[in-house]
Amino acid sequence: MNAHDSHSPADSNTGPEPFVGQSVRRTEDLRLLTGQGMFTDDAVVVDPVYCAILRSPHAHARIVSVDTSRAQAMPEVVLAISGAEAAEHWTQIPAGMDLMDMKLPKVYAIATDKVHYEGEPVAAVVAETRYAAEDALAAIDVEYEPLPAVASVEDALGVHPFDAPDGPWSPKAVLYEEWGHNIQCDWAFEIGDPDAVFASAPHVVSCRPAAHRYSGVPMETRAVVAEYDAGRETLKMRVSTQLPHQSRTLIAQILGLSEPNVQVLADDVGGGFGNKTQVDAEVIPALMAKLSGRAVKWFEPRGDWLSSGPASRDYAHHVEGAFDNDGTLLAIREHLVGDEGCDGATRSAGLGALLVGGTYSAGPYHVRSYKARVQAVVTNKAPYGAYRGYGKETANLAIERLMDTAAAKLGIDPVAIRQHNLVREFPYEMAAGPIIESGSFSQLLDMVTEAMDLPALRLRQEQARAEGRHVGIGVISFLEPSAGSIPMSVFNGYETASVRIMPDGKAMVLSGLQGIGQGVETSLAQITADRLGLHPGDVRIVYGDTKAVPYGLGAYASRGATYGMSAVYEAAGEVRRKLLKAAAGMLEVDPEDLELGRGEVWVAGVPTTRLSVQEVARAVYLSPGPYATLPGEESPTLEANHVWTNPNVSWVPDEHGRVRLYPTHGSGAQGVVVEVDVETGEIQIEKMWIAHDCGKVVNPAIVHGQIIGSTVQGLGGTMFEQLSYDDQGKLLTKTLNDYQLPNIMSVPPIEVLHMETPSPITPLGTKGVGEGGCIGTPAVLLSAVEDALREFGVTVERTPLDPMRVRALVRNAPQTAPVAG
């Protein structure tokens, strides 16, 4: 890979090569490689105390009493507090989203009367050392009255909704008595008379793809450093978060503080992947700082993260497709049921993923009749959060398994049936509402199958079968909607930027985005540098400080390349206009005759008539000043603010009840070759291919890294990672030894093929990137394993693809095949 970090020398008579499109080395890396990053717990504060949280050992129980007196009496303990005591000082957790008639639990960050999952906070301590704080937890006496644990959708409803979508329900227990049942959200939508299409369709196929529970598991757990100044009534918090501004809003609300008095800082964040998009336990150390008068440090022990951090996936589809004889997809009926754990809207934000799953189940394929029902069910497990994919992988699993099922039933080649149905004309309004603004779906699928050399692979597969080996090939397409914008939620649809050239000619950009590893400091600097004729090294990107940056929305839903970059591009464009206007005045020429680059502005064709950006900036700000350099200008300094929104977002339901929450749509295709050992159930992934299109690419190496990284996360989730619970709602996977993250040995060769179909709705043509591998990988692996086991006649619909499941598939196969010997 070629990396550039210096300005390429260019003839001064031609414009310099733009930085956008180059693999500029990352600004972030120098500090991170040398141990000088500033992750939350790295912050030094004066005289800190350390916070530890006592968590419920029961999945479902009433709290009879909490006695913190023994802990409080321990020598190094500064403060020990129960949920009931804390409730006198804060409000219940405000919901992160509230739409579609969803039900919202009324809960505090430390439980008061009842616990809803194993791991829910019941008390907290601050002490002089982390060791003393953790010791003190053992001295807190809690009396529980255990309740029946709702450990599955069947427990929650008494019947599976696939068998009885409208009940009647007979729950084993109800989590929130005031609801009367365990369904947080039940959303239905249809268009194009799908039932009639199904009734007359030549072929109806159905399948029930499902995924188990897993999550993002960032290497840095949640962390807070909180300092409260009682004299000023101000709270300064470092938080490992993807949403500094919304965190400030929610934390201020919970603690009853004036929002301008709260500062949230997030410098380096050790991974997010959607998992750091809520305020839950983070508010506990903040309260402890307020009550104790001491600076409080807290980082979440890994076991606590696994028991109480946001979980994801854990859904099941019943999806049906109506097909014509030639393989044309005529209609989809989709029923999606998610096991949310205790909550997907207040304590964390996973509920929206199920709604996205129900909206996008047509994937990149053309269909006009569509019906979806989504039921989000609560159980006694940890909250349901956002995780890379956020329902797009849910949708992909449904449509791609449906395509394979239809291909097999209709006797059509699985690649051919996809090619036949892919959307080819853009912009394309999906039946469910979203507008796919541009794409090259068919070409991406061609790119993958050509790179794979599919005919040769099929030949090799036949030879392997003759030898008793089980080689499988999977090929799928995927749609990667990006820049999600959810009304009535903290995940809204705008981004802010403030761009300014300082008097020394260097630029400062304040962005509402948040860095969590995506390289925003680098890519935003590339864009700004091109706009302002500077070197990226002369552009300082500031984010993650609510005291410095205008209210912005942070990092989620692959929104950086849509919202964040566009806001910076537009703000920088306004600064460029003023810069050229001032320079034109100084050079006594027309602004349109000027060119800008390499830190200088010059008259086109007259390279000797030039000024440095620094000279212009100094003139505008100080000598002589704006009256002389930008006369008549309304805002006569080299600064501009922009809030970027998108017309393809529509929050007002149309006559069918449809909304449009994603303005840009990346896409891709994936292929994989696996070999299954039917004796041991082990799956060897020989190679993966991924063709990817996220519109205009700003930094190819960063994009490449996002694709590989998301693919390996998708692989890990599908093959290894499990948040596994027993039938009493007790977590079985409490350490990273049990929760198997992929390691360096897990990764097969991955060939990435890039293409760029610009988005017509962003100024640079960019679309979001970062989730594609998580979206397509589960489906392509299931497809390949089913292909490998074809002679057994098994349907491979569920993850995880661990050896136990593979063995069970083979053991229970309807057909027996010759076993490899």
Partner 1 sequence: MAESKTTITVSVNGTEHTCQVAPRTLLVDLIRDDLRLTGTHIGCEEGICGACTVTVDGELVKSCLFLAVQADGKDVTTVEGLTPKCGTSRLQESFRGNFALQCGFCTSGMVVAADALLRENPDPSEQEIKEHLVGNLCRCTGYLSIIDAVRAAANQEVTS
* Strand ranges across the sheet with 223-229: 77-82, 121-127, 49-55, 296-299, 223-229, 234-239, 262-265
The structure tokens 């692996």 sit at 781
- Picking from 701, 780, 770, the residue whose alpha carbon sits closest to that of residue 748 is 780
Q: Minimum Å distance from CB 5 to partner 1?
A: 9
Q: Of 97 and 217, which CB lies nearer to partner 1 in the complex structure? A: 217
- Picking from 327, 328, 354, 326, the residue whose alpha carbon sits closest to that of residue 340 is 354
Q: Minimum Å distance from CB 721 to partner 1?
A: 11
Q: Of 25 and 470, which CB lies nearer to partner 1 in the complex structure? A: 25
For residue 223, give both structure tokens: 């962390």
- The kind and range of the H/E element at 460 are helix 454-466
Q: Minimum Å distance from CB 707 to partner 1?
A: 9
Q: Of 48 and 493, which CB lies nearer to partner 1 in the complex structure? A: 48
Query: Residues near 188 by Cβ (< 8 Å), separated by ≥ 6?
Result: 371, 372, 373, 374
Q: Of 320 and 521, which CB lies nearer to partner 1 in the complex structure? A: 521
Q: With contact defined as beta carbons under 8 Å apart, do 543 and 295 qualify? A: no
Q: Of 50 and 621, which CB lies nearer to partner 1 in the complex structure? A: 50
Q: Of 713 and 722, which CB lies nearer to partner 1 in the complex structure? A: 713
Per DSSP, which regions of 507-638 are E strands? 507-511, 539-542, 594-597, 600-603, 606-612
**Residues in touch with partner 1 (CB under 8 A):** 1-3, 23, 25-26, 28-37, 39, 41-42, 44, 75-76, 128, 130-131, 216-221, 268-273, 299, 301-302, 516-519, 701-702, 704-705, 708-713, 735-737, 741-745, 747, 750, 773
Q: Of 302 and 458, which CB lies nearer to partner 1 in the complex structure? A: 302
Q: With contact defined as beta carbons under 8 Å apart, do 393 and 782 qualify? A: no
Q: Minimum Å distance from CB 293 to partner 1?
A: 21
Q: Minimum Å distance from CB 210 to partner 1?
A: 24
Q: Minimum Å distance from CB 29 to partner 1?
A: 4
Q: Of 369 and 706, which CB lies nearer to partner 1 in the complex structure? A: 706
Q: With contact defined as beta carbons under 8 Å apart, do 305 and 217 qualify? A: yes
Q: How many CB atoms within 10 Å of residue 143? A: 11
Q: With contact defined as beta carbons under 8 Å apart, do 668 and 772 qualify? A: yes
Q: Minimum Å distance from CB 697 to partner 1?
A: 14
Q: Of 31 and 577, which CB lies nearer to partner 1 in the complex structure? A: 31
Residue type, 566: S
Residue type, 141: D
Q: Of 269 and 499, which CB lies nearer to partner 1 in the complex structure? A: 269
Quote the CA–CA distance of 30 and 521 in Å, as a whole number. 12
Q: Minimum Å distance from CB 708 to partner 1?
A: 4
Peptide bond into 414 cis (omega under 30): no
Quote the CA–CA distance of 397 and 361 in Å, as a whole number. 8
Q: For 65, left (φ over 0), alpha (ψ -120 to 50), or beta?
A: beta
Q: Minimum Å distance from CB 121 to partner 1?
A: 19
Q: Minimum Å distance from CB 306 to partner 1?
A: 10
